[in-house]
Structure 1
């Protein structure tokens, strides 16, 4: 017997009382052939008791050619075989032979739902869900109906289980009219996070049969409304629903977001610190910022010259003990000055404290407090400002929490890097596609694509565009600007349209939804580029003369093993800024990026030779498009911009390409002008974080590279090697 549950899924039913050999129906090692060929898809095979010693065995499989009425399905067991002539039936009810018992329907539906979500991946197959729903409707009974009680958030509903039927803890399935869901429920009052599951059927692990989710007869009260009511029933429903939301927030993102949204709209408490100089102790919780994975970043200070503070308790959704020894300490010159004349003692050497608790905020909390427990048995409470922030704002707060001069390697790796990595991944993971504005007729078959990210600083745009437009060697190049500050869209588009009208130079403008940083902007430009060569340009780079592009293209043409090349870059006074990039260890042993001959005269002899170098700067980076895309472009792990250019060079080298410096191409770079307006980078630990990330990823590779390509003595004087 054959039933098509959807265009893609079918079920074959075989009763054990039809005279087929029992050996052929072996559940342990069955095999199946259709038209002489093994079934081509994943299958699932299960038996259900029908009563009177009879059983029904169901074979669930994907539809395939030949699976139709009259076809022969051959079953092979360990000790025998049988041929089954398929007969098409209309639905699962006809397969059973009428209305099933509720217990049998529950077993079959749980089998189908589990396979839909697992092996077959058809939880969103509307036809499959409808077929299961129609089968469940054969068991409708007034004593197995769940009633809707309230709306929880935008799309969730609080339900009451039927009287006398508890929704025991375990995996539950819900059969809706268009989809199937799996949930972990454990209460007589339960929440389903999808209004469209109303009029569906709940399939608990243990129950007399499927439970119908009755549609609401009218508008339902919202959970917040229940919380404002004074009657006991409403208050109990509210407390029960909140407990269910809190329980499921640990595993289900929809409920975590529900808690977060409630916390965001809750009234905030005033920031509270103990900062009076005439008191014997004091402290503040200046910052308590959560990350998307449940981590909590804390920064504050504690002044306790007399040793009155004996313990700390962190207060959020629950109380957590905080060991002061887990926090890192750092200097605060402002506090040392403020409490220098305190009658009970000053702020001591390192009053600042910072900590990162990777799992302290598994449930969202709008505002955290810190209780100071005193030797007298009393306590004092510190309250932080609200800590549920947009990931970008949270990332910048963490990066700006400590002055770069006071951060240690341990603070950076233990407290700063983990939340920044989580927050940055959240930002990058939510990137949207840029808007595309094409001005003028696009260049057909360009030889190179010039990609220029823009962020706020537009001081050089007219000069750069004019230099590009007046250079005959760029006539066959396409120009792409990527705006990373979308609030400037009108201004930049107006400027580019005016420049196009002046020079008749076609240009493409990409507008990022928000500022994702240099790497994301360059990658967006590369995605829209059509040339075989990509040139990544900072917005503060302008040519020193015309015809700077041909030497770069010629170098790539002459040596297929070159993945990227870089030009000579000059400071505004004409001295050398960049003649290739190399690596050297800093005071802490981490690798820094440096440039050959930085500050030397423009025509320093050693800087006039084309040569292989460890890397080239991203300020003017020329790469084969094929190589760039093969290594995934610029890595998006770095914050805002720094070290992603050397990271790209190292990725290209790891892929078998070499890097070269081409001095015949000269450009001016007004260094750091393109990033100085970015508050999220300037005056923060972004550079320190990027260097830590870069060093951890490439330490051994750089060590081997610099052993093979040592820094030329002429980088700081002497002859080139």
Structure 2
């Protein structure tokens, strides 16, 4: 190879065998003419095979190019090495060759014992062993790295264990004598006598390592930020304090270490983030901080900050700023990280009558018409579900004020319900729902449903139909007022005893003992066998229906609410007959009965959709409140849908549709969603007035705190409308006779 100045190029090459499979080549480059990104190396048998990596190490005598690669014929002592350097799109014919000489160690390969050069080589070899070459378990390679690190080790540079974190991790404090530590998680390397490791749980001066590393004699830490090797001191004989205890200490160094440890856990894997959540729950948090004095010229609070489980955060609070002193906002995440500007115009504002009253006579001005705010930031929270958030108010004077939120709920279901309760339904706008409540709720609901446990089945009695035609699937939640009446009505209907199996699904497992006792007593009196399915936790109507369907064996499913009681015997037969007619040829179909209020007036004669305030589609019922024998309600006919209070369809259609959709919260709009999916699959739906039952409407759902006192209904309607609005509009064009709610 001829350099640009025309001088003849020559080089010397040495080789160190790091293990049975890995070699390190050194090429002297005193003039610094070789570019590691452009060097092309080959031997007599052909080019060097990847994977490999080049790196330049500078020494007082110039520079040495290092190449680490798998052992192969061109990289052996005595082999002839050819070097070339790529040009601009063209490769020059190799003009320089040399025989590779064996070297005794990395210092001999570099031709120097300078600590800086040896440390650079150590970083290169260890990082490529863990990365490009995937040789963490190569004992020979680990020994080379460990031996070199030990030679470079300053006895005064040691990491001492200061606390235990959970059952398996120990917190080590790095020496405070190197370059400024990064707050982001660095990739430190652990050099053991027989293995190399990454140390990903690190931030600032804190490193969290499995306790077993303390038992591995001689393990050395190679920091990511450029400092020399660090030895790990073994834990003392006395037990270390917990990370929670460390956080309660008042010394600045202890508090800084505790904050670094939390930051390291927040950037770790799922297990690390779960530990972080547990630590925050056990250790508590700092007191919530607000600025609420009426005599103050401004005020505010961050009432709620909930991580949504998918990298975002939901915030709710209030701001009172009658004089325009607040110039900007900055959000800070848990563990003191994640600073993010929050524009004032990004906040969704809403009325807070309580604040209007509180600050009505404040000397500098009141709270304004809409002091409340809510916002969902989809990419600000990270995956962590614990910790406290704070909001810094930047004032026009250059001063700042800090608002600290209380710790958010740790369970996704509780967090979901908190988001749905964040804004009073009467102050909830479509923009607030669409841009804030709905996206946070959707993420938290997915997380809650992902935690579902397997239900338990309890068989009570025997001797039912060997091959039942239909299964009555009845979800139960809290309200058991109608259970005796419903079961007795089923049991005294001979047609049900001959054709149906009965499945109750308990969605409030805390009632299991009472419900099982009651059902065993009812069976002893009435003799109708049944299956009780006990959910692991309350997951809502849809999940309960799906669990009941899975426990049933019949080819037809009748989904029945617990507050539905037959008006007379024989009600199932006309529904099965109509379902058979509609299902001819395997077409999916559903059938619903006539449902009555307790005064005998109509509650349901088929379901239709009606545009409500804001243009969203609402579910409604034909002739609701009309007399029981209102002539139009006496005719069997196709309808847009039927209510889930009693909906009958074939199992194969139910399974093909994926069951009842679990995306809705607690229970509402799942029935119309099921009907619309069935129609989208080419099915038909009919109303059959010959079957009459009483429906004591919404008796169970109003017992659910996560529904009755939140915006769950509005969320479900928003979700339903977003998915089905065009299909509903086309469907209702086929049913122009749907009565108006106002006319009813």
TM-score by length of 1: 0.74
Pairs within 5 Å for 1:31-46: none
- Measured after TM superposition, the shift of residue 627 of structure 1 is 0.9
Pairs within 5 Å for 1:632-647: 632-647=658-673
Change (3 A) 1:114 1:582: farther
1:448 corresponds to which of 470, 473, 485? 470
Cα separation, 2, equivalents of 1:173 and 1:698: 55
Secondary structure of the residue aligned to 1:712 is: coil
2:153 — aligned with what?
none
Change (3 A) 1:277 1:161: closer
- Measured after TM superposition, the shift of residue 465 of structure 1 is 0.5
2:487 — aligned with what?
465
Bigger mean CA offset, 489-498 vs 267-276: 267-276
2:41 — aligned with what?
none
2:609 — aligned with what?
583
- Measured after TM superposition, the shift of residue 688 of structure 1 is 0.6
Secondary structure of the residue aligned to 1:295 is: strand
Is contact 1:153-1:222 (8 Å) kept? no
- Measured after TM superposition, the shift of residue 654 of structure 1 is 1.9
2:282 corresponds to which of 254, 265, 287? 265
Change (3 A) 1:533 1:103: same
Pairs within 5 Å for 1:288-327: 288-316=305-333, 317-318=336-337, 319-327=339-347
Change (3 A) 1:133 1:434: farther
Per-residue CA shift, 1:320-364, capped at 9, x if unaligned? 433221111112223323333334333222222222222333255
- Measured after TM superposition, the shift of residue 385 of structure 1 is 2.6
2:304 — aligned with what?
287
Change (3 A) 1:437 1:284: same
1:613 — aligned with what?
639
1:155 — aligned with what?
168
Is contact 1:449-1:478 (8 Å) kept? yes
Change (3 A) 1:301 1:110: closer
Cα separation, 2, equivalents of 1:229 and 1:351: 36
Query: Does the alignment pair 1:497 with 2:520?
Result: yes
- Measured after TM superposition, the shift of residue 422 of structure 1 is 1.2
1:425 — aligned with what?
446
- Measured after TM superposition, the shift of residue 460 of structure 1 is 0.3
Is contact 1:148-1:157 (8 Å) kept? no
Cα separation, 2, equivalents of 1:482 and 1:246: 44
Cα separation, 1, equivalents of 2:372 and 2:178: 56
2:246 — aligned with what?
227
- Measured after TM superposition, the shift of residue 605 of structure 1 is 2.2
1:511 — aligned with what?
534
Cα separation, 2, equivalents of 1:428 and 1:198: 41
2:686 — aligned with what?
660
1:58 — aligned with what?
none
Per-residue CA shift, 1:403-423, capped at 9, x if unaligned? 111111111111111111111
Query: Does the alignment pair 1:52 with 2:77?
Result: yes
1:78 — aligned with what?
none
Is contact 1:223-1:238 (8 Å) kept? no
Change (3 A) 1:562 1:262: closer
Is contact 1:105-1:135 (8 Å) kept? no
Cα separation, 2, equivalents of 1:589 and 1:407: 15
1:594 corresponds to which of 602, 620, 625? 620
1:533 — aligned with what?
556
Is contact 2:192-2:216 (8 Å) kept? no
Cα separation, 2, equivalents of 1:532 and 1:180: 59
Query: Does the alignment pair 1:685 with 2:711?
Result: yes
- Measured after TM superposition, the shift of residue 645 of structure 1 is 0.8
2:423 corresponds to which of 390, 402, 406? 402
Is contact 1:105-1:139 (8 Å) kept? no
Change (3 A) 1:695 1:53: farther
> How many residue pairs align between the two structures?
618
Change (3 A) 1:236 1:26: same
Change (3 A) 1:598 1:48: farther
Per-residue CA shift, 1:249-304, capped at 9, x if unaligned? 23622332333233223344444434444443333322222221232222222222
Cα separation, 2, equivalents of 1:255 and 1:417: 29
Bigger mean CA offset, 675-684 vs 338-347: 338-347
Cα separation, 2, equivalents of 1:321 and 1:105: 41
- Measured after TM superposition, the shift of residue 25 of structure 1 is 12
Pairs within 5 Å for 1:10-409: 48-49=71-72, 51-52=76-77, 149=161, 151-158=164-171, 184=200, 190-192=207-209, 221=240, 224=243, 227=246, 239=256, 242-243=259-260, 246-247=263-264, 249-250=266-267, 252-316=269-333, 317-318=336-337, 319-362=339-382, 366-409=387-430
Cα separation, 1, equivalents of 2:302 and 2:455: 39
Secondary structure of the residue aligned to 1:426 is: helix
Secondary structure of the residue aligned to 1:552 is: helix
* Structure 2: gaps of 5 or more residues: 1-20, 24-43, 52-68, 81-121, 151-157
* Structure 1: gaps of 5 or more residues: 1-12, 16-20, 29-45, 56-101, 116-128
Change (3 A) 1:161 1:467: same
Is contact 2:201-2:268 (8 Å) kept? no
1:521 — aligned with what?
544
1:704 — aligned with what?
730
TM-score by length of 2: 0.72
Root mean square deviation, CA, Å: 4.5
